[in-house]
Structure 1
């Protein structure tokens, strides 16, 4: 498996770029997940697989929930204030966040078992369900990021970026 490094060019000063960067990491980790079953079938479990799976677990256990908080607590409320037409999509995205977390819980259980040598494969259907959920989600969400670039002021974006960084205790 190939470990893909996150986009280092995004900063908290540009919170929408950070939201996009998170989506980039999600897409990269989903690509890794998609190849995982075939890799395991051909090569078995090795330390490289365990390392990559641990990175995926870390991301979706820690960073993804923070990303969803960034959206639900800061970005979406600010956006709907200036672009009320976004409310229906925001409602749907928030419903999807719940399903994404449910899908992750099921998949994470298997991934944890894999790295603890309690199993030697992962359910392909769980992986595909997880990836499909994010594919739909990102396709609906990224146009809202563009709306944010269009409608939110530099001051609003700066304030959102500071909150996002503080959520992660980054100065």
Structure 2
């Protein structure tokens, strides 16, 4: 019941033909969806239905996003830079609707994806005919505009050099060929699409919203969800960044512990302001936090220091963080000396303790398709309340 996806494809030396070939594959997948709709009521999620659902998932999870990027990041920008006169006017009329179509199709696909995933797993048989119809109609209208107006314009306007550049960009996006290292880095990108973030999704209190996302990062088994970038500036206003671990957050702010005599300690003494950054790539999320920094109370630093593993406490005494040292062996000797002196009861050194960033700006970022990300920012107001607004990506 499924149509084969294996057919003769044009090479990337014919990039416009490749784009048309992608359209043909989309049409085949739409035919598969229609056949699946008819198949499910009589046969359920049998082996044929599972195979068909997986074929559609494979294409629209992988192939279709690449095709949309080809258009948004290469074909359309190249056309906009080349067209003049009536061509430019035509593009000004068509391009916003084409980009909007991509967003619409992605939104419909999110619903279809979940339905098809359950069918592919054999755990459900529901496929919404309205979703399939809207998906197919939107794609059909979109592809007709491209094939009757956009592609003919590109074929007429693009020089051989432009066509070559377009084909190479499409090829590199798919990891084909061996581009120069600089170009490979420039084209290294990942399209996001797991979730969205709207004003109605977030909580009124940004600390509560952070707690919600942090809990979700832990449940998703994000690699070191408590790791955060800490950025400070030195006496000359030059920025410095490093990764530290958050140890506490609450209504008072975000707390970490370190050596007060380290580079970051000296920088915070000179300029007690900092920025924090959490990036949870598995969830396609980041949180940016900016504010003023203060020392935690000695009692808090004592409590946390004595909760640390013994070797970590000894290391805090042995290391003059950020200062030069001759060798690893010298560092090991310093540790051994501290261990011999204090045994299993090292005291918290006066130069070691906590910092707390009191936030005045917190931004929540959710990755979306085609770099059209969601950004919701909270700004602290003079009365202590938080103003919330959306930022453009």
- The structure whose Rg is larger is 2
Q: Given the two structures, how large is their TM-score scaled by the length of structure 1?
A: 0.94
Per-residue Cα deviation, 1:123-171 (whole angstroms, up to 9, x for no partner): 1111111111101111112120111111111110111100101000011
1:73 aligns with 73
Which of 145, 168, 171 aligns to 2:174? It is 168
Kept after mapping to 2: 8 A contact 1:113/1:119: yes
1:138 aligns with 2:138: no
1:88 aligns with 93
Structure number with the bigger relative contact order (C-alpha 8 A, sep ≥ 6) is 1
Per-residue Cα deviation, 1:75-105 (whole angstroms, up to 9, x for no partner): 0011122222322211110011000100111
Per-residue Cα deviation, 1:28-60 (whole angstroms, up to 9, x for no partner): 100111121111122222222212211110110
Kept after mapping to 2: 8 A contact 1:14/1:157: yes
- Looking at structure 2, the residues matched to 48 and 118 of structure 1 have their Cα atoms a distance apart, in angstroms, of 14
1:151 aligns with 2:154: no
- Aligned ranges for residues 96-115 of structure 1 at < 5 Å? 96-115=101-120
- Looking at structure 2, the residues matched to 8 and 122 of structure 1 have their Cα atoms a distance apart, in angstroms, of 31
Matched pairs, number? 171
Q: What is the DSSP-based 3-state SS (H/G/I as helix, E as strand, rest coil) of the residue aligned with 2:61?
A: helix
1:34 aligns with 2:39: no
Which of 126, 138, 163 aligns to 1:121? It is 126
- Looking at structure 1, the residues matched to 5 and 116 of structure 2 have their Cα atoms a distance apart, in angstroms, of 20
Kept after mapping to 2: 8 A contact 1:12/1:162: yes
- Looking at structure 2, the residues matched to 117 and 55 of structure 1 have their Cα atoms a distance apart, in angstroms, of 14
Q: What is the DSSP-based 3-state SS (H/G/I as helix, E as strand, rest coil) of the residue aligned with 1:8?
A: coil
Kept after mapping to 2: 8 A contact 1:45/1:120: yes
Which structure shows the bigger proportion of residues in strand conformation?
Answer: 2
Q: Given the two structures, how large is their TM-score scaled by the length of structure 2?
A: 0.42
1:52 aligns with 52
Task: Point out 4+ residue stretches in structure 1 off by more than 4 angstroms.
Answer: none
Which structure shows the bigger proportion of residues in helix conformation?
Answer: 1
- CA deviation after TM superposition for structure 1 residue 6, in Å: 4.8
- Looking at structure 2, the residues matched to 115 and 58 of structure 1 have their Cα atoms a distance apart, in angstroms, of 11
Kept after mapping to 2: 8 A contact 1:7/1:24: no
Unaligned runs of 5+ in 1: none
